Structure formats: structure tokens, C-alpha cells
Structure 1
Amino acid sequence: MGVANRLDVTLRLVQGSDRVSVAELSHRLGVSEMTVRRDLDALERQGLVRRVHGGAVAVSPREEGGGFSAREPWQAVTKDRLGEAVAALVAPGWHVLLDAGTTTVHVAEHLAARGPLSVAVLSLQAAAQLADRPGIELLVVGGRSRPGERSLVGPLALRTIESLAFDCFVMSIGGVHADHGWSEFSLEDAAVKQAGLAQAGRTIAVADATKLGVRAFSQVAPLGVVDRFVTDAAAEDAATHPNGPQTLHALREAGVETILV
């Protein structure tokens, strides 16, 4: 796993817990405790975590300006490739629910050329990408904007999703695990994804290969609820992603079409 990818997953694991230990991060990421300490030091220098004895705690993005903006540049080329592949699976005329996340912003960029489409977004960044684009009917799902993430969550977002029907839900994900299924680091994000799954005729999940084998805090759903999963080809390389091949096998066994780009 590359350094930027590992930092991304480490940050999400810390943000998903009140406190996480070096030993737990080492076990989840499959790297040495010395590597974990170096990564936590790097994240602390960026103001994204606070080091405590034996581990780390998350820093409020409202205080330090972290979150989405800090992760956005990481693996941008890979995420753009994933975004293009996902957009190619969306048929003109569909009603699409587009999840929040750094990868789905790239999906939004490529969806702009797939119109006519009706796209409901759960991200203020995705809304900015799709606003005023010819052939795109944009619906911004109501809700509370999570500080630092600008994802739309909470009761208002859930009520809006539950009142609509979608041809497709494009779901980003924090973790995909052979036993734990699809999972997220935030309870609020997990609840929004569960609502999206229930209201869509099909679901395309998308995540870079670092999310394979990750068991995040809140389970969203079993593997088999998703129709297609788009990830980068590095997921098949056990040398860089030890949990990748096993997780891909579990997805295929669950009936999920996996697309590697």
C-alpha cells in the first residue's frame, strides 16, 4: 500500500473511533507499529489527528480545517480513473443518487458528459461540479453538512432519500471486508447509505484498493446487496494490498460484479 493510500485509511480509522491504538492500526493495516507511528506523526503535522500515549485521537475539522480538503489530493489520478469508469456505467435518462466522498467528486465530473440525467447529490463538492451543466437536472439532497466533509447527513437527508426512487445509487465506501461487508467510519454516513441502497434499483459501489479488507466502525450492508464494485487494478496485487485478492474473491462469491481499472 502506498504512503498516501495508507495515510487515507489511517485517518479514516482514527476519525471513526474516539481513540485508536497503534497496535490496532498495525493489525488493521498490516504494517509495523513503527510505520503506524510515523504515519500518525505525519497526520499530526497536518493537524488531522492528535497523538496520545499509545495511539491517536481525531481532531475536530471545525478547529483544524481537516477532512475532505486534506484527503482530496491523495491518489487523485486513480480516483479520476475510477470516476470515469463509474460514469460509463450510468445510462442517459437515469435518476441517480450520488454519494459523498473524494472519489465521487470525480464521478460527478464525468457524469456531466452523460446527460440527460437527473442526479441527486449528497455532497456539496459534487453539487458544485454538476451545477449549470447542460443535460443535468441537479437535486441537492437536504440535510446537515458534516463539518470538514461537506457530506449531507441527518434526518432531513434521510427523509428526502426515502421519498424518492432512483435507477442507480453510486455509493462510496470506507471499508469493504469479506466478513463484515460494506462499512463506514461515521454512523451518520452509514445511515444515509442504507437509505440509498433501499431506494435504488441498482447500486454501483466505488472505492480505491486501500479500502479492501478494511473493517470500519459501522456496518452498512452485506456484500451481496451491491450489484457492481469498481476499484483499481492494484487490488489484485497481494504484495501491495494483502487483503485485496481475498476481498475480491468474497465479492465475486457474493454475486457482485467487480470491475478493475
Structure 2
Amino acid sequence: MTTEQRGVESSAGTAVQGLPPDARRHALARFVEERTTAKLEAMAETFGVSIMTIHRDLDQLTKDGRLERIRGGARAIPRRFAERDVRLRRHMNSAQKDLLARTAAGLIPAGAIVCLDDSTTVGAMGRYIADRQPSTVFTHSLGLMGAVAQHPAIALVGLGGQYYSETDSFLGTVVVDQVRRIAADVVFVSTTALKNGALFHPDAEAALTKKAIIEVAERKVLLADTSKFESNGLYHVVDLEVFDDIVVEADLPAPHRARLERLGLTIHTAPAP
């Protein structure tokens, strides 16, 4: 039986041969993450491409901060570092994050009071916020504070507390106390993991802060790229059913989309990169 006939599949059950380059690299990153380390030969055989193609893919994935090169193959970046360090996360899936952010920004009504969390996906909304003309922006992200401050027509309210350089934001009970004194028309949130109908995060302080800002807004919008579905997270944030809208990628698998539809969420699809 030939390789084509075998139809090699990943552990997620998705055929991984014959994929276009971007999709192959995404699947390759997941392949390595699931195994912690992987050899060049195993990757080439699984994906039905040459060793040189795998070398080029790994070069790009390393540049994007998704993998680390090792002798003869690649290894996954330790989960906690990949999820916490903002310098790394801003470069991961940057094209997808930008498309999700642009689509999400289109949901901001003119004159609205907007709350933005500290995720790098929501952070990408900073370049589109002025065009939507909100009256006020609340945020605990230091990066977003800098972006919004460039537009004096928008009132900026920074939520301060203990600063964490790993996330470039303020987190914890001091921020939560401030959040409980405000009200917003719409909040935009993302997180590291969506599983079993809920949002999860690996950090307790971040989970607490996200939960607080979600609760103060009348309309709740979630941004989620495909990699967040069925990922792992330690601390429960909120159930998915509390959201009104979710912004997802065009290639979100049908089973995930069907679950979102059953929850009654309005699904907004970002264009393909």
C-alpha cells in the first residue's frame, strides 16, 4: 500500500498529507507539541514531503516562536513559557490574530464604552480602535494603553495593579476591585484554552482578572483562533455560554462550529490569511 493510499493521519484524526504550506506548518507544530520532540525523518514521512521542506517549515515555525530546533528535529516550547511570555505570544500566529482583531473591531459601535483584555489577540485591535470611534476604552494591558493614548478623542482608563512583565499587563485583586466600579457596553477577551464548553487559563491571577472584566460588560465578545480549541488550561475563567459573540478563523473545524452554534453564540468569521 502506498503512502497516498494509507492516508497518514495525525492523532487528531486530520489528514496531514497534501496540505498547502501554511496549513502544513500549523499541523506540523501540533504534531511536535503532541509528542514533545520529533525527528526530521518522522515528520517528512508523516507529511509526505522532503527533508528540505521540513527544514524550511521548521525555520519558519522557529521564527514565529512556535517550536525550538534541536539536532535532527524539533521540540515543543514548554507550555507555561509559551502561554505567559508576551514577547513570544505576539509573534505566534500573528497573521491570524490580526485578521481576528480587525473583524472584532468591526463590532464596536461608535461612541461605545469598550473594555479590552490583555491577550495578544485582543492587543492586535489597538491599530483598528480609532477607526471605530469609541468614547472610552478600559484596559489592564500596558501595550493597549500606549496604543489608545495616541488618540486623544478616545477617553482612556487604565486599570492598574501588580505589573507582570510576562503579560505586559496588570493583574490580580487590585485590578479586580477597580473593574467592579466600572461598566462597559462591550468587552473583548481571548484566552489560552477553550475546552468542555468553558474558557481556561494557566495563571490564576490572569483568570481572576479576565472573569472580572467579562462580568462588567453588557455585550461579551470572545476572540479565538483554532489553536485554542481543546488546548489545556488550569484555571476556569467562565463558561462559553456567557458570551454573545465569538470571532473565529475561516477554517474552524465543523464540529467546533456546531458546538458554538448549539450554545447560541453569534459567530463572526475572519477572512482567511
Alpha-carbon distance, 1:137 to partner: 0.9
Task: Look up the match of 1:139.
Answer: 157
Task: Look up the match of 2:127.
Answer: 109
Alpha-carbon distance, 1:32 to partner: 8.1
Distance change in 2, residues 1:87/1:5 (3 Å): farther
Query: Could you tell me which of 244, 254, 257 is aligned with 2:263?
Result: 254
Task: Look up the match of 1:158.
Answer: 176
Match runs of 1:2-13 below 5 Å: 3=25
Q: In the aligned structure 2, how far is the partner of 1:140 from the partner of 1:230?
A: 25
Q: In the aligned structure 1, how far is the partner of 2:36 from the partner of 2:79?
A: 19
Match runs of 1:1-261 below 5 Å: 3=25, 26=34, 34=38, 43=67, 58=80, 67-177=85-195, 179-235=196-252, 244-261=253-270
Distance change in 2, residues 1:259/1:42 (3 Å): closer
The superposition leaves residues 42-91 of structure 1 with CA deviations (integer Å, 9 ceiling, x where unpaired) of 75669xxxx9xxx9575699xxxx81112212222221111111111010
Residue 139 of structure 1 aligns to a residue in which SS?
Answer: strand
Residue 112 of structure 1 aligns to a residue in which SS?
Answer: helix
Distance change in 2, residues 1:57/1:119 (3 Å): closer
Residue 105 of structure 1 aligns to a residue in which SS?
Answer: helix
Q: In the aligned structure 2, how far is the partner of 1:219 from the partner of 1:69?
A: 24
The structure with the largest alpha-carbon Rg is 2
The one-letter code matched in structure 2 to 1:203 is K
Q: In the aligned structure 2, how far is the partner of 1:148 from the partner of 1:225?
A: 28
Same amino acid, percent of matched pairs: 23
Q: In the aligned structure 2, how far is the partner of 1:98 from the partner of 1:71?
A: 17
* Greater RCO (Cα-Cα under 8 Å, separation 6 or more): 1
Q: In the aligned structure 2, how far is the partner of 1:115 from the partner of 1:6?
A: 40
Gaps of 5+ in 1: 11-21, 236-243
Q: TM-score, with normalisation over the residues of structure 2?
A: 0.71
Q: In the aligned structure 1, how far is the partner of 2:218 from the partner of 2:66?
A: 42
Contact residue 206 and residue 230 of structure 1 kept, 8 A: yes
Contact residue 142 and residue 168 of structure 2 kept, 8 A: yes
Contact residue 101 and residue 151 of structure 1 kept, 8 A: no
Contact residue 109 and residue 129 of structure 1 kept, 8 A: yes
Residue 202 of structure 1 aligns to a residue in which SS?
Answer: strand
The superposition leaves residues 205-224 of structure 1 with CA deviations (integer Å, 9 ceiling, x where unpaired) of 00211112224111111111
The one-letter code matched in structure 1 to 2:124 is H
Contact residue 94 and residue 118 of structure 1 kept, 8 A: yes
Contact residue 127 and residue 140 of structure 1 kept, 8 A: yes
Q: In the aligned structure 1, how far is the partner of 2:82 from the partner of 2:99?
A: 31
Residue 218 of structure 2 aligns to a residue in which SS?
Answer: coil
Distance change in 2, residues 1:205/1:91 (3 Å): same
Q: In the aligned structure 1, how far is the partner of 2:92 from the partner of 2:192?
A: 15
Count the aligned residue pairs.
224
The one-letter code matched in structure 2 to 1:229 is I
Q: In the aligned structure 1, how far is the partner of 2:165 from the partner of 2:27?
A: 22
Distance change in 2, residues 1:136/1:183 (3 Å): same
The superposition leaves residues 90-144 of structure 1 with CA deviations (integer Å, 9 ceiling, x where unpaired) of 1011111101121112112111211142001121111111113042111111121
Task: Look up the match of 2:53.
Answer: none
The one-letter code matched in structure 1 to 2:169 is S
Residue 138 of structure 2 aligns to a residue in which SS?
Answer: strand
Alpha-carbon distance, 1:195 to partner: 0.7
